[in-house]
Structure 1
């Protein structure tokens, strides 16, 4: 699912690249009536009960729920509909609101997660503030889970409607303010993912700042020979870098790192330090850039083994070493008669418990290349599990057909590599074959360690952007399936090996997907902020720092005058600080104590009355 979502977003970004000049040309501006001032007005609540076909009406007694709603305080209009979300009912609802001078609306239907925005737009078209709305979920939370208990489902529907009406009487209009969006994108990392992100955004007319801490673009891909499908990587990289450097919308900053960043979605201010990279040029310069969004594509590294004599014996290589040997026509490859690939070196163990996903495919490609060079070469793959997923299975089949031998091992009987005691400096590889149920001894001329991918050391950078990492050091997305390229902090996106080990084509897809998500922000002129956000009553604030420690997004800060402050443009409205504040100095708009207690009292007062009547 994550790959499908990423590829869909990448496809959208690719399509958008071809129509950047036509963006918004067919868009019509929505005309809204002025909002009705409800300040000080007595609540006049309209209740609309939905049958949702048979989803609700086939279980609960909707007419009974409708009639019950008529008895509730402040309710001036009640009706039931077959489908409240239909266009006909939406138009009818607007008319009813106007004719009955309704100033609060309750819809008893399905989930607000899917339909609340629709109903909010409807009441806004009728002149009401969109926050003068409350929803009772009598489908997902009721009839779907009590489909065999119609009487209880009806009673529960009445409870939910009563609670919604009680809360609706206390909701107040909220207003948002518009902030201009800085139409530029910061891309951190000059590897394949970073360059693809830059080009995809630049093609859509966005100014891009590409920051790379070394003096060369390309990242770890510069050490690869070909993709698993055989396309040469060097030519692709050269073409990609040439396009990036030549594009008028892209500003490339080599030997540059991020020092500080402030702001929020739509308007970040980031301080860059040029000359602070690994190559340390003589002139160090600091400059400030403004951008509306950022893609973090800082890449990964090949794990450098400390096992299997790596670094102690010249004939023990990693995959990237082997690729270099192929490029340089190393004599050991041509003269060697026996080769062994040891899988899962530095992966799927206590230190790095994850699978790097690339190693098996890389070994298969190299093994096939050796067999193509000379079918008489003996090639062994010492593996735990072969994970050649998707069409990569064809490589596994080809390797088998060409005579590559596969020997399985497990953690209880790890392969053992030692120097040969023959005075020639050779190697001896011992492994227990579970099929033969006996140890096998090999004398390979070259041993290739299928070392995994590890994250680059960018802890300071990640702390600067306040983006999370998992226990392995890879960046963590907001939601693996629903938001696979977004961070929890709006306006920040992830792509490439910094996220997790992935092949080149997947890094490209993710890079384009990240830009597709960023363009949702950057394609607009203004950003609406406010509404459901937390606010601080500074008179009550004791500066205890509880909110600062609690907020998962790091938004609250202590004002110079000695109280906590929460910027409306940055607040996510999660309410964590509100729940934790010991002095009740913080309020979450639209979820005030008064609104919540009204809802809970409405439930328990009726429950007590029912219990008393029964006794």
Structure 2
């Protein structure tokens, strides 16, 4: 057909540009000789009530794309060898699941756990709603990890730093007790599975009265037989430390954990009154049936809001709970033996440090944030780095393990290749124009530009560059060019829009 350029007007390039680029490559055309006009996100969606004007705008966008396409040049993609091993950070259920999934496919895995034992939060679970034995699950996973010939365990160790790019990372880890003797690990991918922690309350008399404890502490005491039969009602308070001004998110698992422990109490002591003071009951999916079962067994649910929070008064043998039930409007008091706090799930303290090492984002609550909630739910913009488990967000055990399998699957797509192509649309430095002002070094969100002191100029490793163009826009001397977005090409697009 003698095609030299291809322009497509359709929906978002994020999902469809790679599809069209691969199509023209199969037809024998360089994949970078392609331009796309995004007439869905920029026309049909924002101007859905103005179809005539949206159509005119679409024509202008297509004209701009055609004008730019005239100046497109074929770009080369170099190929680099892949280091066929993985680094998994975190030895909880998510980390162990990911490590086993990769090792079972024949890929060597380095599993780093900063504590002296594997298991993470799974160690604190004594029973589950569906009667699965978490202790048996934990022992089985640990045995499989320790006995797997392709998994190298690094217990009591922390990641110090990392460098490189997808397919070729080098990381240094060291024992927490002796950080001065690091070990260097070469790996092709990284999976972050550092988990999360239970919030330590500073409200509701926690730490002041031995009769006030968290759900985790209560579950351990209940399952181990360390708790005497309560003489008076047990009161559980939900949303402690979350769904407030400091943390406005829902920790997701708390309602189900409270209902699990309430059901265990009613099973052990059928005549014991159990109260759950809640904002909203959120038992996701089929867990709703356990909520109904709790009601059938006589568990009493009382709703409160931020303006009418429960108040506690320690009276020695009892804790007096004052409440205002939103549903009935009734105010009342409960003389309770124990107060059980459903504490928030909060980010692991390592998240911020790791986010800087790998140049990956965390959200305002300290959890790792994926590249796209639908299209890349376990990936980051930094290629070759993945996230799973409660390092990503509060989630149930089965969700955490499923997400770990997803992260391992995505990582395997890299490790299964002998070579990886390096994106051609990258920033390039002209050393004759670079004055070494280091502006690009300071603005790059991925810390890719590096100053070469010998040459006195900045250098950009193509394999690490994300093609975001921030450095090119910030460079005062016009020493940096972003391929496929060069000044002349953009000027042609603008001219087409203006005329």
Q: Please report the TM-score for the alignment, with normalisation by the length of structure 1.
A: 0.76
Q: Map 1:476-555; keep pairs closer than 5 Å.
A: 476-555=369-448
Deviations 1:76-109 (A, max 9, x none): xxxxxxxxxxxxxxxxxxxx21xxxx5x223454
Q: Map 1:189-338; keep pairs closer than 5 Å.
A: 189-274=90-175, 276=176, 280=177, 285-332=181-228, 334-338=229-233
Deviation at 1:193, TM superposition (A): 0.5
Instruction: State which of 594, 601, 609 in structure 1 corresponds to 2:495.
Output: 601
Deviation at 1:583, TM superposition (A): 1.6
Check conservation: 1:178, 1:529, Cα contact below 8 A.
Answer: yes
Name the stretch that deviates more: 248-257 or 406-415.
406-415
Check conservation: 2:43, 2:54, Cα contact below 8 A.
Answer: no
Tell me, yes or no, if structure 1 residue 389 matches structure 2 residue 284: yes
RMSD: 2.5
- Aligned partners of 1:143, 1:444: CA distance in 2, in Å? 59
Instruction: State which of 361, 373, 379 in structure 1 corresponds to 2:256.
Output: 361
- Aligned partners of 2:284, 2:342: CA distance in 1, in Å? 17
Task: Name the counterpart of 1:172.
Answer: 73
Name the stretch that deviates more: 552-561 or 585-594.
552-561
Task: Name the counterpart of 1:106.
Answer: 6
Deviation at 1:177, TM superposition (A): 0.8
Indicate how the Cα distance of structure 1 residues 255 and 151 shifts in structure 2: closer, same or farther if over 3 A, else same: closer
- Aligned partners of 1:342, 1:116: CA distance in 2, in Å? 50
Indicate how the Cα distance of structure 1 residues 236 and 431 shifts in structure 2: closer, same or farther if over 3 A, else same: same
How many residues align? The count is: 495
Deviation at 1:350, TM superposition (A): 2.1
- Aligned partners of 1:602, 1:255: CA distance in 2, in Å? 61
Deviations 1:336-358 (A, max 9, x none): 34211111111112222211111
Q: Which has the larger radius of gyration?
A: 1
Q: Map 1:98-137; keep pairs closer than 5 Å.
A: 104-107=4-7, 109-111=9-11, 113=13, 116-117=17-18, 119-121=20-22, 123-125=24-26, 127-135=28-36
Task: Name the counterpart of 2:481.
Answer: 587
Instruction: State which of 272, 276, 284 in structure 2 corresponds to 1:377.
Output: 272
Check conservation: 2:238, 2:278, Cα contact below 8 A.
Answer: yes
- Aligned partners of 1:393, 1:404: CA distance in 2, in Å? 14
Deviations 1:393-432 (A, max 9, x none): 1111111111111111111121111111xxx532211112
Task: Name the counterpart of 1:7.
Answer: none
- Aligned partners of 1:430, 1:406: CA distance in 2, in Å? 14
Tell me, yes or no, if structure 1 residue 460 matches structure 2 residue 353: yes
Check conservation: 2:44, 2:54, Cα contact below 8 A.
Answer: no
- Aligned partners of 1:155, 1:430: CA distance in 2, in Å? 62
SS where residue 412 of structure 1 aligns? helix
Check conservation: 1:106, 1:164, Cα contact below 8 A.
Answer: no
SS where residue 200 of structure 1 aligns? helix
Deviations 1:4-23 (A, max 9, x none): xxxxxxxxxxxxxxxxxxxx
Check conservation: 1:106, 1:136, Cα contact below 8 A.
Answer: no
Indicate how the Cα distance of structure 1 residues 186 and 138 shifts in structure 2: closer, same or farther if over 3 A, else same: closer
Task: Name the counterpart of 1:558.
Answer: 451
Deviation at 1:234, TM superposition (A): 0.8
- Aligned partners of 1:151, 1:503: CA distance in 2, in Å? 48
Instruction: State which of 343, 350, 366 in structure 2 corresponds to 1:451.
Output: 343
Check conservation: 1:336, 1:446, Cα contact below 8 A.
Answer: no
Name the stretch that deviates more: 556-565 or 502-511.
556-565
Deviations 1:220-264 (A, max 9, x none): 110111223221211100001100111111111101110110001
Check conservation: 1:147, 1:153, Cα contact below 8 A.
Answer: no
- Aligned partners of 2:414, 2:481: CA distance in 1, in Å? 28
Check conservation: 2:9, 2:36, Cα contact below 8 A.
Answer: yes
Indicate how the Cα distance of structure 1 residues 433 and 581 shifts in structure 2: closer, same or farther if over 3 A, else same: same
Indicate how the Cα distance of structure 1 residues 544 and 338 shifts in structure 2: closer, same or farther if over 3 A, else same: same
Deviations 1:13-49 (A, max 9, x none): xxxxxxxxxxxxxxxxxxxxxxxxxxxxxxxxxxxxx
Deviations 1:508-547 (A, max 9, x none): 0111111111112111110111411110112222323222
- Aligned partners of 1:285, 1:426: CA distance in 2, in Å? 53
Deviation at 1:137, TM superposition (A): 6.0
Task: Name the counterpart of 1:434.
Answer: 326
Q: Map 1:74-89; keep pairs closer than 5 Å.
A: none
Indicate how the Cα distance of structure 1 residues 567 and 429 shifts in structure 2: closer, same or farther if over 3 A, else same: same
Deviations 1:82-140 (A, max 9, x none): xxxxxxxxxxxxxx21xxxx5x2234543472554455445545544332344556788
Deviations 1:570-595 (A, max 9, x none): 11112122122222111011221112
- Aligned partners of 2:329, 2:17: CA distance in 1, in Å? 64
Deviation at 1:147, TM superposition (A): 11
- Aligned partners of 1:229, 1:591: CA distance in 2, in Å? 55
Segments of 5+ residues of structure 1 without an aligned counterpart are 1-95, 608-615
Segments of 5+ residues of structure 2 without an aligned counterpart are none
SS where residue 513 of structure 1 aligns? helix
Check conservation: 1:191, 1:299, Cα contact below 8 A.
Answer: yes
SS where residue 407 of structure 1 aligns? strand
